[in-house]
Amino acid sequence: MAACGGGGFNSNLSVLIQSQRGPCAASQPLEAFFLSGTSPTFLGSRSVMSFADRRLTVDQVQFLEKSFEVENKLEPERKIQLAKDLGLQPRQVAIWFQNRRARWKTKQLEKDYEVLESSYNGLKADYDNLLKEKERLRAEVNLLTNELLLKEKEKGGSELSDKDAFYEEPPGKAMADSASEGEVSTVACKQEDISSDKSDMFDSESPHYADGVHSSLLEAGDSSYVFQPDQSDLSQDEEDNLSKSLLPPLAFPKLEDDDYSDPPACFEDHAIWCWSF
């Protein structure tokens, strides 16, 4: 095997490696290795392997490792020199570097994966915490809203006008199906209200906020349900067609949690439709 026919340790190696070493490379170990008087020749230094063994000796591998640390690419002159110094074929040196780069890349990928994984785990933990916090805050909002509605009812219970009575119960049960107990109807507008006082329908100063219109928006997880009839027995296609052809209000944008503070701008334009129900 070529590994055993070589010319032994070349003292010029330190010069060779030194010349190829970058300014930031750690020089100490390599230099110590090269200058070590105990370094054996590679001829016959294979203490535990036979000559038939195609594996490189421990010393050869150590030497190549040091060289790889300095520079993981192999220029032709360096390859020849290393081969000469180690008693190997230049091709063997090239192959060793090639395989070594492949191993390094695999290790690097494993490291990168670990970094990404820990980053992902951290982000997921944050996300889960935020979800919990969101649920907690939502429950709090529901609780406070119900308390507020209860107070409003108690305060104005004996003074219910015809108008108030209408606000309290929607005509029919169309809208009430999806509303939970204690919610005030969402069909909370009269055509004359809209025509006469449409502009302040969602004005924060308006008492309408306290009569259930806005609070029910708050309570609806999916705010777009507000004007939807009960379609639970319709297929998805049927629902889609219905929403496109018959019920313009269904095209209201879905309100996200952070939309609670303001009504959608299009709401005013479509407000007339709530009377059609």
Give the closest residue to 97 by CA, choosing from 128, 69, 58, 57. 69
Task: Report the C-alpha gap between 127 and 135 in whole angstroms.
Answer: 12
Please report whether residue 56 would count as binding DNA according to CB under 7 A.
Answer: yes
Please report whether residue 63 would count as binding DNA according to CB under 7 A.
Answer: no
Q: Which two tokens stand for residue 260?
A: 């609670």
Please report whether residue 96 would count as binding DNA according to CB under 7 A.
Answer: yes
User: What is the distance of C-alpha 215 from the center of its chain?
Assistant: 33
Q: Which is nearer to DNA, 99 or 119 (CB)?
A: 99
Please report whether residue 173 would count as binding DNA according to CB under 7 A.
Answer: no
CB of 17 to DNA, least distance (A): 17
Binds DNA by CB under 7 A, chosen from 25, 26, 35, 102: 102
Q: Which is nearer to DNA, 71 or 152 (CB)?
A: 71
What's the one-letter identity of residue 204?
Answer: S
Please report whether residue 94 would count as binding DNA according to CB under 7 A.
Answer: yes
Q: Which range of residues in 27-35, 93-101, 196-204, 239-247 is near DNA by CB under 7 A?
A: 93-101
DSSP 136-190: HHHHHHHHHHHHHHHHHHHHHGGG--HHHHHHHS-SSSTTTTTSPTTPPPS----
Please report whether residue 70 would count as binding DNA according to CB under 7 A.
Answer: no
Contacts of 221 (CB under 8 A, 6+ apart): none
Q: Which range of residues in 92-100, 134-142, 215-223, 225-233 is near DNA by CB under 7 A?
A: 92-100
Contact residues for DNA, defined by CB under 7 A: 2, 48-49, 52-56, 61, 73-74, 76, 91-92, 94-96, 98-99, 101-103, 105
